[in-house]
Every structure is written in structure tokens, then in C-alpha cells.
Amino acid sequence: MEIFTTGALLSDYLKKKKNTGKTIGFIPTMGALHDGHLSLLKNAASKTDLVVCSIFVNPTQFTDPKDLENYPRPIEKDIRKLEDSPCDILFLPDVAEMYSKGEVWQIDLGDLDKILEGKIRPGHYQGVTQIVKKLFDIVKPDYAFFGQKDYQQFMVISKMVDILKLDVKLIMCSIIREPDGLAMSSRNIYLSKTERIQALVLSRALIRTKSEFDQYDISELKSNAVNAINIREGIQLEYFEICDGETLMPVSSKQPKSLVALIAARISHTRLIDNIILK
């Protein structure tokens, strides 16, 4: 595995590889890698000739300075994991490499960055699109791989790709879960043993919603899930919504051809998100 810290050198290297007919798969991450990230690398390796992973804790997508400061950065462990995975290139820039002073970024994402995560974390998806566009410009991937766990993020980046007519194919990969059902997340390391058990209510509520999908209408499915979560101690539910899978707008019927249930909650100081595709 080769490591690059500057965009110019990486871009030049990859341009030469593409000129020989190599296809590039790209996985942008903020590090603290887990099996969910590694599954994206495996997917990329099965579809492309060169797998590029970036690790960059992007300051513009954090709405809470303490969250940015405390975000895990186990870079040595991450590098070892990447060396044992099908990763050909790691891009490891610093903030000065990715941002210059006085930069301004604004893209019209419609309602996508104002609902669900966007409502709770205003400005978050502007920061996400800002850094992903920068990374796409450097790597110029044929394919970019993202996890389903950040479903709204995938929709936001898809919108940006459409608006800017970027030449990259986005691929959403399935959520990787712990044996007990908890969605893998870099933030899971913050959970105590008790909180780890409490967090299981999130995935169980989603699985229950899917199993009951044919039995109840949308409002009943939502109330069943919310009630199951709210009776548990230690859980602060931020939202549970059933949405059109293509627009993420809340639905009142099962008519849309794609439906997804999304959840966000705090367990003590740790914020977790999860989702499940219902239809």
C-alpha cells in the first residue's frame, strides 16, 4: 500500500494509472476504521483495478467543536487495517492540504440538507459535499463506495454528483452489523457496556418495523417503534421516520416504490444513526 499526503502527487500518480486503462475505486473515510469500512474496500476491489481510501477528519462537517476535537484518530491502527485489506493507496492529507483560508462553499441541495440529519445538524451536509467534491477532484474515481448506514449522506452526495455532472458512479453498500445487530460505527467505541446494551433498541426497532411492515399502516409502524424505544432507559430519541427512499420525505402511505426507516438517538453522550430498507 502506498501513502500520499498531497493531492497533487496523488492526482498525478492516478492519472498515469488511468492512462494505462486502470479503473479506480474510492472510499472516503474519517478514519477509526471498522469492518463496515473494510467491507467497502472489498466491494471496491471486486469492481475496480485500484482501490483508494482517504482518511481525513473534515472540520467543515462538524457542527459541534467538541465533537471534532474528540473524534477518534487511531491512525496507526487504521494503517495496519488497510495494509491487511485490499487497499492499494491511502490518501492522508492534513487540513492545510485540503482547505485554504477564506474558502466559501454553498450548493443548493433542496430539502435534502434541511431534514432529518440536516435539521439537527445544520450545515453538516454542506461540509460533507465540500470535502467529497475536493476528494473527487483529486482522485477522479470511476466508482465511489459508501455505506448504507449513512443513507441520507449517500442521497446528498448523489444530488451533488447530479448537479455538478460529475463523472463518477456511486455505489451504496449494505450495512455491516455486529453479531447482536448493532450497526458498526466509529462512535461505538464511546459506549460503555451498559450503553452498548441500551443501543441495541435502535436496530431492534428497525428490524421489528420491517417484520411488521405488511401488518400495519405507516402511522402504526412509527408509533410501535417510537413506543418501543421510549420505554427504554438511557435513550434520547431524536427521530424515527419512514420516508420515500428516493426523496427522504416522510410518507403517510406505502405507495412510493422505495421506503426506508431511519432513526437517530443519543445514548448518554453518544449519538448513533441507523436505518433499514422496508421496500
Distance CA 70, CA 242 (A): 31
Distance CA 139, CA 262 (A): 31
**Nearest partner of 116 among 229, 238, 253, 272, judged by Cα:** 238
Q: How far, rounded to the nearest angstrom, does the alpha carbon of residue 246 sit from its chain's CA centroid?
A: 17
Cα dist from 272 to 8, 18, 95, 150, whole Å: 36, 38, 26, 11
Q: How many other β-carbons are positioned within 10 Å of the β-carbon of residue 267? A: 23
Active site residues: 37
Distance CA 202, CA 237 (A): 9
